[in-house]
A = this chain, B = another copy of it.
């Protein structure tokens, strides 16, 4: 990881959240706190941020309120860290959209050398920051509220792919129905993703466990892994384990 890359990463974190904690940067950047601190020093000297005890904050919004942009962010970070343990060099990986996936992208090891395929604009944009990965966007009509490509051409595009892994940001999952979602166009795309992947991983914060929406994406039997922020032996997860899912 080059110094400038770390700087870019830090700057982006600041732009996104208006602050960073030094300790939080150590893992994704694979550097010691010393190095991070020196990075922050340099960025401060370049007038790009303001260093404070424990990290740094944005120059523009120093008085900023604690903006919890992302709902349940800390849980999603836990999920993200579990998710990246499944990744290996050389893999082809399908990614859906959603804030959990975004957290996962931010947690990607910078030296991972994989091919990522997505239909989600925010996911694609996030992946551009990754130094080594290749990014393929399966395009078509963009569904505005989901910010992803949907429709026949997108589904056809996915069908050209043979992926090793598929990560689904999951809105609703329960034992009887499996994964369910709200919009037909999204369902179509997710089904195609599931069909084209060797292994399917559901990322789901625990509060969405055992909930159900109108439309069915796929049964539990199509899934291989379930990742929540809970420990693997939590009672809520038992019935999923019984169905044959690997719980992380």
Q: Which of A2-27 contact B (CB under 8 A)?
A: 2-5, 7-8, 11, 15-19, 21
Q: Is the CB of A140 within 8 A of B136?
A: yes
Q: Across the two chains, which residue of chain B brings its CB closest to A53?
A: B3
Choice from B8, B50, B65, B139 contacting A137 with Cβ under 8 Å: B139
Q: Is the CB of A55 within 8 A of B2?
A: yes
Q: Is the CB of A121 within 8 A of B125?
A: yes
Q: Is the CB of B57 within 8 A of A5?
A: yes
Chain B residues whose C-beta falls within 8 Å of the C-beta of A61 in the assembled complex: 4-5, 8
Complex CA gap A65/B142 in Å reads 29
Chain B residues whose C-beta falls within 8 Å of the C-beta of A17 in the assembled complex: 131-133
Q: Which of A40-66 contact B (CB under 8 A)?
A: 46, 48, 50, 52-55, 57, 61-62, 64-66
Chain B residues whose C-beta falls within 8 Å of the C-beta of A137 in the assembled complex: 121, 137, 139-140, 142, 149
Q: Is the CB of A2 within 8 A of B54?
A: yes
Complex CA gap A20/B141 in Å reads 32
Query: For the side of the interface on A, what is the size category?
Result: 35 or more
Tell me whether chain A's interface is mostly helix, strand or loop, or mixed. mixed
Interface presence of A134 (CB below 8 A): yes
Chain B residues whose C-beta falls within 8 Å of the C-beta of A52 in the assembled complex: 2-4
Copies of this chain, tallied across the complex: 2
Mark each residue of chain A from 18 to 39: 1 if its CB lies under 8 Å from any CB of chain B, else 0.
1101000000000000000000
Q: Across the two chains, which residue of chain B brings its CB closest to A64?
A: B8
Chain B residues whose C-beta falls within 8 Å of the C-beta of A199 in the assembled complex: none
Complex CA gap A124/B148 in Å reads 10
Q: Is the CB of B141 within 8 A of A65?
A: no
Interface presence of A144 (CB below 8 A): yes
Interface presence of A245 (CB below 8 A): no
- Residues of chain A at the chain B interface (Cβ within 8 Å): 2-5, 7-8, 11, 15-19, 21, 46, 48, 50, 52-55, 57, 61-62, 64-66, 68, 119, 121-122, 124-125, 127-128, 131-142, 144, 147, 149, 157
A-B contact pairs, 27 of them (CB 8 A): A2-B55, A3-B52, A3-B53, A3-B54, A4-B50, A4-B52, A4-B57, A4-B65, A5-B57, A5-B61, A8-B65, A15-B68, A48-B65, A121-B128, A121-B137, A125-B125, A128-B144, A134-B141, A135-B141, A136-B139, A136-B141, A136-B142, A137-B137, A137-B142, A138-B139, A139-B139, A139-B149
